[in-house]
Amino acid sequence: MKFLISITILIFLQACTQKHQPIKITSMENKEAKNNPYYSRTDTTKLNISNNEWKKVLIPDLYAVARESATERAFTGKYNEFDEVGDYYCAVCGNHLFRSTSKFASSCGWPSFFEADKNGVYYKRDQSYGMDRVEVLCKRCDSHLGHVFDDGPKPTGLRYCMNSISLEFVAVSQK
C-alpha cells in the first residue's frame, strides 16, 4: 500500500512539473526588441539615435548588419526559406518595410522582395568593395537593410536582397 501511495505521489509530481514545460523560447531578436525603447510598430517618428546608443540596445549581430553594413552569410538567415503570410518590419525600430505578398523565392541565399513599402525605405548609392550597388536603408532609423538589384521578377523587375536579421516578421494572425 505504502508503495502504491509513493507511486501515485511520484506520478502526481511528474504531472506537475510537466505542466510548466516546455517553456516558450522567444527569439533573441524579439527579446531584445522589448529592451529596445526605440522599437515601435505604430510610432513613425523619425529617429536620430547615435551608434553608441544602438550598441547598448541591439544584439551584436544585428548591430553589425544594421549599423556597420555587414552582410549575413548566404543561406543562413531565418527568412531565406520562409513563406508565411504577414508583414516584415525593421528589426531595429519596428518600421513597416515589406509585405509577404511581395516576397519571392530567389536563389541568391537571402530573403528577396520585388517591392518595398515606399514609406519604409530609402536608397543610397554604394560603391564599396569595388561594386556599384544601391543600398536600401530604413527611413525611420537609417539602418542598413540590404541592397536592391534590377534583376527581379514582374511587376517591378526589382530584387530587394535583404538580411534576415534586419527584419522582424509578424504573421497576419498575430496583429
Helices (H), the chain: 2-19, 28-34, 51-57, 60-68
Examine residue 100 and tell whether it contacts Zn ion (CB under 5 A).
Answer: no
Examine residue 67 and tell whether it contacts Zn ion (CB under 5 A).
Answer: no
Cell of 57: 540596445
Select from 5-13, 71-79, 87-95, 162-170 the region that touches Zn ion (CB under 5 A).
Answer: 87-95
Examine residue 164 and tell whether it contacts Zn ion (CB under 5 A).
Answer: no
Give the angle subtended at the CA of 31 by the CAs of 144 and 93, to the nearest 5°. Answer: 30
Examine residue 90 and tell whether it contacts Zn ion (CB under 5 A).
Answer: yes
Query: Does the annotation mark 93 as catalytic?
Result: no
For 107-137, letters b (16+ CB in 10 Å) and e give eeebbbbbbbbeebbeeeebeeeeeebebbb
* Sole binder of Zn ion in the list 36, 80, 95, 100 (CB under 5 A): 95
Q: Residue 135's Cα: distance from chain center in Å? A: 18
* Sole binder of Zn ion in the list 58, 136, 141, 145 (CB under 5 A): 141
* Sole binder of Zn ion in the list 103, 140, 144, 147 (CB under 5 A): 140
Where does this chain bind Zn ion (CB under 5 A)?
A: 90, 92-93, 95, 138, 140-141, 143
Known catalytic residues are: 161
